């Protein structure tokens, strides 16, 4: 008798194929779910493989458009960067994948969901917190935290042996000596030979970006138009072609950024679960957008609003990295960030060249920049006395104790000197 129905987040790889068969061994009816979020995958082959292994139903869902609009765009608005460098391509993708997994589980009346994330990583938390937030009654089967499973499969060789015993097709191409996670936003590389943080990344590791040394000797000049803090159009200035839909915009920025070797980083980060890990990432389109959005935001946003928003962006990044996309606090922070973006619109022109993004200029009807006011050649309505008061206040704040102990007249002379220097 069946123990119930489980919706398995399925990739078609060795781990989740073995988990599919193992769940059936345990007495569950298994529905597999594979999300297309831009990874290089033979989705039809994966479907057939799941069916051949006994999946009760197989869902293959194209989530690329909603991944960009519902998850990447809020990250762009937030300037979301974890620990100053990581643009969180994996962390942003997990709530997108899990949201659809839960929808399928509810519709199919499944009491369980399952995934192939290990017990040492962040993804188990990201998947499970999303599932609990959106389907509180669901029960989660995490094989890599179940002793009967992880004691049986101590390594890849055990999985390979199990696959042979159960007729599970195994990869015929040599496996890369590291772990990869790919989607529309990035590719991440970790584990294997990369676990030694001193080891340099092999030259053939990167799949999404060219080596900057081998990239074109002529830059691409782009104009990116923003409304409410998200891109609505990208134009290649030299070629004259444009992209307008969110998916096309982001895909094109990936193409241009990858062509010029933009978005490579090699970092050691702090996992939420409590350990440091070494990761190598390439995020070409996301890196181009971060540079452009920072520029148009500074151009159009009030100084003090932006100061608060910077702190919210850091908080948002921590919440998303740790798996709390659907928490009340993250929802609140997202709404605050969205409010801050109401006037963030305009066009940014930039050059993409040899691994770098160079801002060239910007324009906006919502600009807070006053060319006449800031001009060194035109006085306009500006009263220089306004600056003297500001300088006096800060001179007192910054003055060393020896100055503050001076006679009042001497201190006043110092301030007057400061205002005229």
Contact 143, 114 (CB under 8 A): yes
Contact 324, 129 (CB under 8 A): yes
C-alpha 7: how far from chain center = 26
Q: Could you tell me which of 124, 126, 121 has the C-alpha nearest to residue 269?
A: 121
Q: Considering just the CA atoms, what is the radius of gyration of the chain in Å? A: 26
Token pair 């094989």: residue? 143
- DSSP symbol at 341: T
Task: Specify burial of residue 103 (Cβ count, 10 A radius: 0-12, 13-18, 19+).
Answer: middle
Q: Which two tokens stand for residue 102?
A: 């839960």
C-alpha 196: how far from chain center = 24
Token pair 């009030």: residue? 302
User: What does the alpha-carbon distance between residue 419 and residue 385 come to, in Å, rounded to a whole number?
Assistant: 9
Helix (H/G/I), strand (E/B), else coil: 316? helix
Q: Which two tokens stand for residue 2?
A: 């069946």
End-to-end CA distance of the chain: 88
- Residues carrying an active site annotation: 15, 94, 123, 179
Question: Mind spelling out the 3-state secondary structure of 178-200?
Answer: CEEEECCCCEEEECHHHHCCCCC
- Helix (H) or strand (E) segment spanning residue 24: helix 14-25
Contacts of residue 415, Cβ cutoff 8 Å, sequence gap at least 6:
392, 395, 396
Q: Could you tell me which of 193, 219, 189 has the C-alpha nearest to residue 206?
A: 189
What phi, psi does 157 have (nearest 5°)? -65, -35
Q: Measuring CA to CA, how many Å separate 264 from each of 40, 209, 373, 382, 395?
A: 19, 8, 40, 45, 43
* DSSP secondary structure, 280-305, as one string: EEE-HHHHHHHHHHHHHHHHHS-HHH
- Helix (H) or strand (E) segment spanning residue 266: strand 264-270
């Amino acid at each position: 008798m069946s123990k119930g129905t489980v919706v398995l987040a399925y990739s078609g790889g060795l781990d989740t194929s073995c988990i599919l068969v193992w769940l059936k061994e345990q007495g569950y009816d298994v529905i597999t779910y594979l999300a297309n979020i831009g990874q290089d995958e033979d989705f039809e082959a994966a479907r057939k493989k799941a069916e051949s292994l006994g999946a009760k139903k197989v869902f293959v869902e194209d989530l690329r458009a909603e991944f960009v609009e519902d998850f990447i765009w809020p990250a762009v608005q937030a300037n979301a960067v974890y620990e100053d460098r990581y643009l969180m391509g994996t962390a942003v993708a997990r709530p997108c994948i899990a949201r659809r997994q839960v929808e399928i589980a509810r519709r199919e009346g499944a009491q369980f969901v399952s995934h192939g994330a290990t017990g040492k990583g962040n993804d188990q938390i990201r998947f499970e917190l999303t599932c609990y937030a959106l389907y509180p009654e669901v029960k989660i089967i995490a094989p890599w935290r179940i002793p009967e499973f992880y004691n049986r499969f101590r390594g890849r060789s055990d999985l390979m042996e199990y696959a042979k015993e159960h007729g599970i097709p195994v990869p015929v191409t040599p496996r890369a000596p590291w772990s990869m996670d790919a989607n529309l936003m990035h590719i991440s590389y970790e584990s294997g030979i990369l676990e030694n943080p001193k080891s340099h990344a092999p030259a053939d590791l990167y799949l999404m970006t060219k080596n900057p040394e081998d990239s074109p000797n002529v830059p691409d000049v782009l104009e990116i138009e923003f409304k409410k803090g998200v891109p609505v159009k990208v134009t290649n200035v030299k070629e004259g072609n444009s992209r307008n839909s969110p998916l096309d915009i982001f895909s094109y920025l990936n193409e241009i950024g990858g062509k010029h070797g933009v978005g490579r980083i090699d970092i050691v980060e702090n996992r939420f679960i409590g350990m440091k890990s070494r990761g190598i990432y390439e995020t070409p389109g996301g890196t181009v957008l971060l540079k452009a959005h920072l520029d148009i935001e500074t151009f159009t946003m009030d100084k003090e609003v932006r100061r608060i928003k910077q702190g919210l962006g850091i908080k948002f990044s921590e919440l998303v990295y740790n798996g709390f996309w659907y928490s009340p606090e993250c929802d609140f922070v997202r709404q605050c960030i969205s409010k801050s973006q109401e006037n963030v619109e305009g066009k940014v022109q930039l050059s993409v060249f040899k691994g770098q993004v160079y801002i060239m200029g910007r324009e906006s009807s919502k600009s807070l920049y006053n060319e006449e006011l800031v001009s060194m050649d035109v006085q306009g309505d500006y009263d220089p006395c306004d600056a003297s008061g500001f300088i006096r206040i800060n001179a007192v704040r910054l003055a060393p104790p020896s100055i503050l102990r001076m006679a009042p007249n001497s201190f006043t002379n110092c301030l007057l000197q400061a205002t005229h220097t």
